[in-house]
Chains A and B, each alone.
Chain A
Amino acid sequence: MKPAPFVHHAPRTVEEAVEVLARVGHDGKVLAGGQSLIPILNMRLASPAHLVDVNAVSGLDDLTVTADAVRVGALVRHARLEHDQVVYGASPLLRRVVRHVAHPVIRNRGTTVGSIVHADPAGEMPAVLALTGGVVEVASARGAREIPCHDFFLGPMETALEPDELAVGVRFPLFGATTGTAFAERARRHGDYALAGVAAAVAVEDGVVSSARLSFVSVTDVPGILDVTEACRGQAPGEIDWSACDDLVREHLAPEDDIHATAEYRAMLATQLAHLVLAEAATDAVAAQGDSAA
């Protein structure tokens, strides 16, 4: 299990990187954290002729919080996102989710942008990008562009990124003060890819739910938002029977059988987890408002 030979490129700037990608993009791969890519290379399931190693590119490791978003540069490791207190203050959901990405040692090296670009339906971070309505910032020799997440994910392991393009960062928009969030997943082993995972954002205004949205891990082809507001709008969080959302959830899911679980089981699990995270997110919303009131 050794990778096939490749030409290593180590650009120092984004300009250099996209210039290389313009030349070799079709035969090349971008290497950032490498925690998904290198296993594939080691097993020779892929053998790109060129590897564009962006680890030395300056300006890609910014992690910033603005008034309306958390911006994560392409070289920000999961662990940094997880532990940054300012990020947590602005968006507790990011920490709640990123903790479920593999194991801590993998998070020390793996990048959040990388896992989004990888577009694995079993990835947690794509689901968060979807739930927050995030944006992928892209550079290429042809110019920069921004791709909203609903246009970004095209299918399992497939994105709108062109071979000559480099994802330089993503923005996770912040929720308003009335919105609470939660995430849960279940895996066969701690740290494994989830059998199913669900992220929730629930807004509570004047003591009742005004909006409730979900996104899913491992049970849909591409991450997207499921709006379940109609099943709970206007109800007080403590009194909601979240199973009212079940039909909407089941309709949204496209789980598949694999060696770890049947599609049916995954659907059941996702439904159950949806109840859990909706309730938690609603509680979170109420608690957050309590805090700010106090």
Chain B
Amino acid sequence: MSEPVPEVLLDVTVTVNDVPRHARVPARRLLSDFLRHDVGLTGTHVGCEHGVCGACTVLVDGAPVRSCLMFAVTAQAHRVATVEGLGTVEAMGPVQQAFTECHGLQCGFCTPGFVTTVTAYLEDHPDPTADEAREAISGNLCRCTGYQNIVKSVLRAAEIKAEASASEGPAAGSTA
């Protein structure tokens, strides 16, 4: 019997929610595990580890990506945003707020993946129809809600964003 050979560890630094996060991990560490277990941001959930369910979706340079299908070592070149970076209980992001208003979640396990996906989607599609909203979430699995209230949440989030940008816009308050 030979002595156990420790696996080579790499110094990996990934910028997560605008903060550089460092850990010594093997090359095979999945980004999802890096975020959850090395960085301690457990809001990103792992539902299948083969890229189908979408629970682990994070934003990489603003675009939604499955964090179970990316190695942490590869993510070093990019900015990663997780559900924790999109708002807090005290100051929820528009998508998070919409999900709470529309009962867009039940057990909440898939929710972070929806929140990240929808956040990115609305950046490019600020005013989706119900059918478009449904299509936008069709790469994420939810076993609880039947999706109907998630569709509603997408539409509501678009409204909240529009309201926010209207009140921030140059016309705001001009009639007062």
Instruction: Specify which of B64, B69, B73, B139 is in contact with A191 (CB 8 Å cutoff).
Output: B139
Query: Is A67 interfacial (CB 8 A cutoff)?
Result: no
B28 close to A6 (CB less than 8 A)? yes
Encode B62-91 as 1/0 by CB contact (under 8 A) with A: 011110111101100100000000000000
B54 touches A105 (CB 8 A): yes
Residues from chain A with a CB closer than 8 A to the CB of B66 are 35, 105-106, 109
Name the one of B60, B65, B74 contacting A31, with C-beta atoms under 8 angstroms.
B74
Instruction: Classify chain B: how many residues form its interface, as a range.
Output: 20 to 34
Residue A145 CB within 8 A of the other chain: no
User: A281 CA to B157 CA in the complex, in Å?
Assistant: 39
Q: How far is the CA of A42 from the CA of B67 in the complex (A)?
A: 12
How many chain-A residues does the 8 Å CB contact rule pick out? 31
How far does the Cβ of B176 sit from chain A's closest Cβ, in whole Å?
41
Q: Per-position contact with A for B35-58: 1 when CB-CB < 8 Å, else 0?
A: 000000000000001110010010
Within 8 A of B (CB), among A102-119: 102-106, 108-109
Q: A5-B28, A109-B65 are known contacts. Are A38 and B139 too (CB-CB below 8 A)?
A: no
Query: Using Cβ atoms and an 8 Å threshold, which residues of chain A touch B77?
Result: 55-56
Instruction: Please tell me which one of the listed residues A1, A10, A106, A190 contacts residue B73 in the complex, with CB atoms under 8 A apart.
Output: A10
Question: Complex Cα distance A192/B21, Å?
Answer: 35
How many cross-chain pairs have Cβ atoms below 8 Å apart between A and B? 87
Indicate whether A287 reaches chain B with its CB closer than 8 angstroms.
no
Residues in A with CB closer than 8 Å to B160 are none
Least CB separation from A51: chain B residue: B27
Flag whether B130 is at the interface (Cβ < 8 A): no
Chain B residues whose C-beta falls within 8 Å of the C-beta of A56 in the assembled complex: 77
Q: Which of B27, B49, B54, B60 contacts A8 (CB 8 A)?
A: B27
Chain A CB within 8 A of B10 CB: yes
Would you call B117 an interface residue if the criterion is a C-beta within 8 Å of the partner chain's C-beta atoms? yes
Contact yes or no, A5 B7, CB < 8 A: yes
Q: CB distance B28 to A109 under 8 Å?
A: no
Chain A residues with CB under 8 Å of B8's CB are: 7
Residues on B lying within 8 angstroms of A by beta carbon are 7-8, 10, 26-28, 30, 33, 49-51, 54, 57, 60, 63-66, 68-71, 73-74, 77, 117, 135-136, 138-139
Binding site for B on A (CB under 8 A): 1-8, 10, 31, 34-35, 38-39, 41-43, 51, 53, 55-56, 79, 102-106, 108-109, 190-191
